[in-house]
Amino acid sequence: MRKILYLFGILLSLNACSPKINNTVVLDDLKELSSDKYEGRKTGTKGNDMAANFIIDKFKKVGLMSYHDNYKQPIEFKNKAGETIKGNNIVGYIKGKTDKVMVISAHYDHLGIKDGKVFNGADDDASGVTAVLAYADYFSKHQPKYTMIFVAFDAEEMGLQGSKYFVAHPPVNLKDIAININMDMIAHNDKNELYACGTFPFPNLKPFITSPNQKPNILFGHDDPKTGREDWTYQSDQGSFYAKNIPFIYFGVEDHKDYHKETDEFQNINQDFFVGAVNSILEVIKNIDKNYIAPNRIREDIIMN
């Protein structure tokens, strides 16, 4: 009996130490989503539609529920040339133990094809979308406290159009959205530095940003305009949530030599850094889900504007 209990204890210990994210799948998904077959994923193109379908298939596989037909929230807007552009946010959710909502997001569009060159955007932002897929898989197996909405936004590169539409036409009451966790460029940094932006306007979130992993080093900043450093607050989709006074944490890296270039390819990311970032951000999300108490902070005038 002692031997059986001893072996059972070993199995429990191994299970407790087992990785919560399948790192091989994470890398495979990033490689796939940033491949030439998606033609740079520019909003309104065939390649963008193919990327949307890849994400939808992943949402279906893990059993996410949908607010819209086949997970697609259609968006429509005018570009700078006055042309009408149509796209789709891809939205799925897991019902939590409360009706308060955490939105976990990244944008799946990129720059498309320019002068015959495919801009695949491996870091920008296939990396963030891949993380969203990994977290959808994880929380489908571990019911969260917060209801979690997983969103792959379209048309970020055209002025945050997808996220602007989402907060203007939310699938839940905007008052119930407690926080946005957004990821844009989390796979490419030679200094082992990942920034968590958002703790300057929302300092109560800082204690939750801890991780047992040392790769990457999570730094704070790029959210205080008084420092003179580049302020990222409105530079990705978290800006649309902040405009509604919704707390956010944005994870990203500083610009690198491949930013918005055709060389932003899978082979140029830092694979260990990326896998570490995905796992570290998961720990932060779990901390927030377990311990964060959302303030009653959205005013009616902000919601209506």
Eight-class DSSP state of 264 = -
The answer, yes or no, to whether residue 102 has pLDDT greater than 70, is yes
Q: Which domains does the chain have, with CATH numbers?
A: 19-304 (3.40.630.10)
HSE-CB of 294 using CA atoms within 13 angstroms: 23
Amino acid at position 187, single letter: A
State residue 214's pLDDT score. Answer: 66
Query: Is the separation of the CB atoms in 273 and 192 below 8 Å?
Result: yes
Each residue of 227-281: pLDDT tens digit? 878 999 999 999 999 999 999 999 999 999 999 999 999 999 999 999 999 999 9
H or E, element range at 166: helix 161-168
